[in-house]
């Protein structure tokens, strides 16, 4: 049964920012858009890039390695890789588009909690 786990060392995050945090030994991307917090797996589903090192545009995070984009609301793929040509086609063939896992977040007083499966 999944339970909420406190994100140690983080009591808040500036709006429009994201950070990788460890939650029970799992790398988790924690992002804040406006007043809402989002949590997702910390590594890209394509080639394992650290999503926190990418870009955040609204609720869409872009991986810094190959430009794959995911919506933090539901983990869906917005764009799978970025580019064209042979390398792009080969990359898509071996790693078909797949979403990232997202986790429920709640804030209690000065604590941020993430629900891992």
Beta carbons of 68 and 62 less than 8 angstroms apart: yes
| Domains contained in the chain, CATH given | 15-109 (2.102.10.10)
Helix (H) or strand (E) holding 5: strand 4-6
pLDDT tens-digit readout, 29-63: 999 999 999 999 999 988 889 999 999 999 999 99
Element (H, E) at 48: none
pLDDT for 117: 84
* pLDDT at residue 93 tops 70: no
Q: Is the model more confident about 71 or about 10?
A: 71
Residues 94-104 pLDDT 10s = 667 889 999 99
CB 56 within 8 Å of CB 18: yes
What pTM does this model have?
Answer: 0.87
Res 95: pLDDT: 66
């Amino acid at each position: 049964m999944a339970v909420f786990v406190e994100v140690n060392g983080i009591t808040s995050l500036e709006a429009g920012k994201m950070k990788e945090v460890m939650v029970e030994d799992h790398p988790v991307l924690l992002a804040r858009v406006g007043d809402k917090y989002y949590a997702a797996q910390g590594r890209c589903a394509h080639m394992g890039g650290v999503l926190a090192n990418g870009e955040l545009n609204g609720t869409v995070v872009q991986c810094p390695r190959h430009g794959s984009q995911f919506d933090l609301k539901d983990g869906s793929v917005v764009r799978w890789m970025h580019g064209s040509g042979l390398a792009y086609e080969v990359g898509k063939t071996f790693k078909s588009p797949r979403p990232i896992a997202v986790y429920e977040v709640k804030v209690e007083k000065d604590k941020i909690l993430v629900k891992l499966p």
